[in-house]
Chain A
Amino acid sequence: MNLIDFLMVPLFQKAFLGAFLSGVGLSLLGVVILNLNLTTIRFALMHIALLGAAVGMVLGFSPLAGAMVGIVLASFLLGPVGDYLKMDTGVSGTLFMTGSLGLAFILFYKAGVPAMDAFALFTGNVLALQSSDLWAIGGLAAIIISVFIIFYREIQMTLYNPELAEALGVPVRKIRNGLLLLTGLAIGINIRMVGALLIDAAVLLPAVAALTVSRSLKAALFWSAFFGIFSQVGGLIASMILDLPSGASITMTAVLGVCLAGIFNRILKRV
């Protein structure tokens, strides 16, 4: 089968559409994660996904549904709990991460749940996307893009210098918690596509590449979407042509994107 043949199959059409929507919308949040120092948060969300999967299996529904519910709840709670306990988001993320992992293992042990079934979450499958998944990915991408357009200046100030933004009257906490919620939802949705272990490729690496070549937030968001599409769609094409697992192929394409951005940046500096 060549690429055109693949594109005629509805399964692959859905996969391409999902990869495109994910690349264009969800990768924008990588810029937020990198600039608000939320890298521990994404680890926390991955472990909470595991806890959610364990709870789901104990209660008799699908581990993925449990993981999604866990992530959504955690996304709502991470910011406010950190504010209430007067903890830095990174510290509250560590608390959630370790706590949820401990609790997941207790559940596996006490309920006799096969832990490996829950760990299946850590490898995603873009070819298993349903129409409902596409609606979710597309809807969230539309929300993310709208939020960035409507609150561009406020997000810029919050990411640039939160203390200064607060002194100017920008509601920094509300914006940060809103972005945290979107980040959680983005991670939850991407887990289905690339798996929890390779989630960085979908969310973070496009932003790393974009920040390397950009001189403004607007440019960083544009390039983030570009590298997002490049890694997701390009990775999917590479996986079909070279017969590779889709998650790993998307990840390696994203790594290639970061390398290309780095080389481009060096050339630009010399000119």
Chain B
Amino acid sequence: MARELGIELHNLVAGYNHNQVLKGIDLKVKQGEAVGIAGLNGAGKTTLFKVMLGLIPVTEGRVSVLGRDLRTGIDRAWARREIGYVPQQTTPGKLPVSVHDAVLMGKWGKGYGFFRKPQHSDHEAVGATLKRVGLADLEWQDCRKLSGGEQQKVSLARALVRDAVILLLDEPTTYLDRNFQIEILELLKEIRNEGQLTLITISHDPAHLKAISDRIYQLDQGSLQVVNDESD
């Protein structure tokens, strides 16, 4: 049975002010597929994710998520509920936040939101996801005290707990030591093999992309080209 489209970008032009970072991007990712996007720093990889999340306006072309064109604010808000996002790792801020609370954030807009407190089921889902990523023992630890690898696992758990259909991963293994890189890659392989989620991963490391992707694209000077297609 032919799988339905997860994300489609058609002749997409987007960027900041008058600087068009993405120039005519075409991309089709079916549901359950795993796609990798490689590119140098400044090639527009993160901008591409921001367009998919509806955080940057599209100058030309079309973005659709699960077959729905993102034209209005309502469409974009709907798309964000279907997407789990693992942002590029940043240094933790000054705010004390427990691992549990940091992961629970992933349920915002899905399980709870404005004027609706997190339900018992939301807290249970957080516990189960932390167990899955191997952080159950650190559930009530302050995020500021975690190592880089543990923080990346928190980020991944937050995206997974969202029960999203699409997972966007921005440099998930960068800045991690070798052991954590292996652990995160194993987790992503497991998710990929389950075939439930559509994975789109950005990385400047082709070896890591190859380990978790069916197809790899190169983003160069605002345009996208296939460099490796294992599904052929």
Contact = CB atoms under 8 A, between A and B. Distances in A.
Interface residues of A, number: 28
A159 B93 contact: yes
B55 A217 contact: no
A153 B80 contact: no
Contacts of A123: none
Contacts of B108: 153-154, 157, 168-170
Interface string B88-115: 0010011111100110011011001011
Contacts of B97: 156, 160, 216-217
A161 B170 CA distance: 15
Contact of A167 (B85, B93, B114): B85
A150 interface: yes
Contact of A160 (B53, B77, B93, B106): B93
A146 interface: no
B87 interface: yes
A220 interface: yes
Interface residues of B, number: 28
Most buried by B among A157, A161, A166, A170: A161
Given A167-B85, A170-B108, A216 B93 contact: no
A165 B102 CA distance: 11
B117 to A, nearest CB: 8
Given A167-B55, A167-B85, A150 B94 contact: no
A168 B80 contact: yes
A217 B102 CA distance: 11
B118 interface: yes
A164 interface: yes
B95 A35 contact: yes
Interface in A203-225: 211, 214-217, 219-220
A270 B17 CA distance: 52
A154 B53 CA distance: 19
A208 to B, nearest CB: 10
B139 interface: no
Interface string A149-186: 01101101101110111111110000000000000000
B100 to A, nearest CB: 9
B204 interface: no
B214 interface: no
Most buried by A among B94, B112, B114, B142: B94
A205 B173 CA distance: 38
B81 interface: yes
Contacts of A31: 95
Interface in B177-194: none
Interface of B: 17, 53, 55, 77, 80-81, 83, 85, 87, 90, 93-98, 101-102, 105-106, 108-109, 112, 114-115, 118, 142, 158
The 10 closest A-B pairs by CB, nearest first: A169-B80, A169-B109, A167-B85, A215-B142, A214-B96, A159-B95, A215-B96, A168-B108, A35-B95, A167-B53
29 contacts: A31-B95, A35-B94, A86-B17, A151-B114, A156-B95, A156-B101, A157-B105, A157-B108, A159-B93, A159-B95, A160-B105, A163-B87, A164-B85, A165-B105, A166-B55, A167-B53, A167-B55, A167-B83, A167-B87, A168-B108, A170-B109, A211-B96, A214-B96, A215-B98, A215-B142, A216-B97, A216-B101, A217-B96, A217-B101
